[in-house]
């Protein structure tokens, strides 16, 4: 008997396009063909948008953005072990174009501040591939991150994450751990921070149930202070009926690291060199059920109660120029209820559908009147359809609920931000296996909304281009 022939692979994939707002994009991916010994690849790309966005009172400001990236990655297959690694470079540019045009101060002069971030990242992983779970399995991750902004503020971080596990009888015993070290400059001072996590665990399982029990022991070292925290880490899973209906519940906690890279990735319009304290998730209790409505449709419903210390929220920074086009943070103690739902179906190879969403009920705050710029719900709908493998249609619709921004005007405490409704549609025509053309429509309804206070996004935009493989 002969095996099925392998699908032909192509080493290089090239994608190029152009859109309104003078938006060029280019992407190239290279990967060596199949090998039992090693794999090696390379990615690079560029996307920019040289646009002007209209603020209130018909004012247009420069909202140019740019993203350039280069990445190399490889993997070496050893006997029952794998060594892999990658190195990445990103350069992102933003203009702080959003400001309060209703500010009637006579000395208000708009300065469209330009920010540039440079990211360097390298990762190495070494792990075992033992099929026999009675043997010791281990996994070592080592990563280095460097980020620098246009003002020469920088952050170095090194993370080492070893983990081990082995089967003893019917119980898997293991340890997950990580050591995270941060070194950054801020103004004149140099800040060093070390976080160590130890997560011992034991996993028990039966024919229809599974229980994971463990601890999360967190040790923080900063400014000659040492703080230790211990959180339980428990997960229970029960299969009620042949994977059609499964119940699960868990309880855990953790230290959430709010380093500079995380913050600028989330909000690039922050005040330069902003330092954000860590958030402590003291309680995270969740329970839910998941399963299948049919062989092609699955669901997941979950509710949780969460308690946070030092949860941060973005507010416009009040400075001497009164522009308020940059953000700082405020903190509060928050407990909240979160409800999550997900429905996925794939009735055929040609069509798939995914709907998921969250509803947030903030129960208590100590100092803030509201949780600034946090929505009360969000939802996403994604659909993909293939017509004879020639025409590929994909669409996504997302909605973000009501939010409030802080106001500095004496007669107004908060500013209501509009709900976000955004519909996107993409069409790809595959002329052959190596050549195709695409057309993407974003924000089809031309909704005028703000992701951050005073920062309206681009309205309707379109991009067209081609892809080629060789």
Predicted local distance difference test score (pLDDT) of residue 2: 61
- DSSP string over 339-387: EEEEEEEEEETTEEEEEEEEEEEEEEESS-SS-TT--SEEEEEEEEEEE
Predicted local distance difference test score (pLDDT) of residue 63: 92
Query: Which of these, 18, 11, 12, lies nearest to 437 by C-alpha position?
Result: 18
Query: Which of these, 346, 318, 348, 316, lies nearest to 329 by C-alpha position?
Result: 316
Under-50 pLDDT residues of the chain: 106-107
Q: What pTM value is reported for the model?
A: 0.91
Query: Which of these, 410, 403, 408, lies nearest to 328 by C-alpha position?
Result: 408
- Angstrom distance (rounded) from CA 314 to CA 294: 43
Q: What is the DSSP letter of 265?
A: H
- Angstrom distance (rounded) from CA 427 to CA 430: 10
Tokens standing for 267?
């909000």
- For every residue of 35-94, which 3-state class applies, written as one string? CCCEEEEEEEEEEEECCEEECHHHCEEECCEEEEEEEEEEEEEECCEEEEEEEEEEEEEE
Domain 289-470 class in CATH: mainly beta
Query: Which of these, 352, 404, 342, lies nearest to 379 by C-alpha position?
Result: 342
pLDDT digit string (tens) for 71-104? 999 999 998 899 999 999 999 999 999 888 776 5
- DSSP string over 379-412: EEEEEEEEETTTEEEEEEEEEE--EEEE--STT-
Predicted local distance difference test score (pLDDT) of residue 85: 97
Structural domain boundaries of the chain? 289-470
């Amino acid at each position: 008997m002969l095996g099925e022939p392998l699908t032909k692979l192509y080493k290089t994939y090239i994608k190029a396009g152009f859109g309104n707002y003078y938006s060029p994009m280019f992407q190239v991916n290279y990967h060596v063909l199949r090998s039992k010994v090693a794999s090696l690849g390379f990615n690079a790309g560029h996307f920019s948008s040289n646009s002007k966005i209209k603020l209130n009172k018909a004012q247009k400001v420069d909202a140019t953005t740019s993203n350039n990236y280069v990445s190399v990655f490889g993997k070496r297959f050893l006997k029952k072990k794998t060594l892999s690694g990658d190195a990445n470079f990103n350069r992102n540019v933003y203009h702080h174009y959003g400001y309060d045009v209703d500010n009637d101060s006579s000395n208000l002069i708009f300065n469209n501040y330009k920010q540039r971030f440079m990211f360097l990242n390298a990762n190495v992983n070494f792990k075992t591939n033992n099929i026999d779970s009675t043997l010791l399995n281990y996994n070592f991750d080592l990563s280095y991150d460097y980020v620098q902004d246009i003002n020469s503020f920088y952050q170095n971080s090194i993370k080492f994450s070893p983990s081990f596990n082995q089967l003893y009888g019917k119980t898997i015993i293991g340890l997950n751990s990580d050591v995270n070290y941060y070194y950054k400059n801020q103004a004149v001072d140099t800040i060093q921070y070390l976080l160590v996590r130890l997560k011992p665990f034991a996993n028990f399982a039966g024919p229809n149930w599974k229980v994971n029990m463990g601890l999360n022991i967190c040790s923080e070292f900063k400014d000659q202070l040492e703080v230790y925290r211990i959180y339980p880490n428990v997960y229970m899973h029960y299969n009620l009926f042949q994977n059609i209906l499964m119940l699960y519940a868990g309880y855990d906690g953790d230290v959430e690291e709010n380093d500079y890279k995380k913050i600028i990735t989330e909000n690039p319009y922050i005040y330069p060199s902003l330092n954000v304290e860590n958030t402590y998730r003291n309680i995270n209790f969740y329970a839910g059920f998941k399963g299948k409505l049919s062989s092609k449709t699955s669901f997941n419903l979950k509710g949780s109660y969460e308690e946070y210390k030092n949860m941060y929220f973005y507010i416009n920074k009040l400075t001497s120029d009164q522009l308020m086009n940059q953000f700082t943070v405020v903190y509060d103690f928050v407990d909240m209820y979160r409800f999550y739902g997900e429905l996925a179906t794939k009735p055929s190879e040609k069509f798939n559908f995914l709907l998921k969403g969250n509803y947030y009920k903030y129960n208590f705050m100590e100092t803030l009147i509201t949780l600034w710029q946090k929505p009360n719900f969000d939802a996403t709908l994604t659909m993909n359809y293939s017509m004879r493998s020639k025409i590929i249609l994909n669409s996504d619709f997302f909605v973000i609920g009501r939010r409030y921004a802080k106001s500095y005007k004496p007669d107004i405490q908060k500013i209501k931000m509009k709900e976000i409704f955004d519909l996107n549609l993409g069409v790809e025509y595959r002329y052959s296996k190596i050549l195709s053309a695409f057309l993407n429509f974003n924000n089809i309804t031309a909704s005028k909304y703000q992701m951050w206070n005073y920062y309206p996004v681009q309205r309707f935009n379109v991009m067209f281009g081609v892809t080629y493989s060789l």
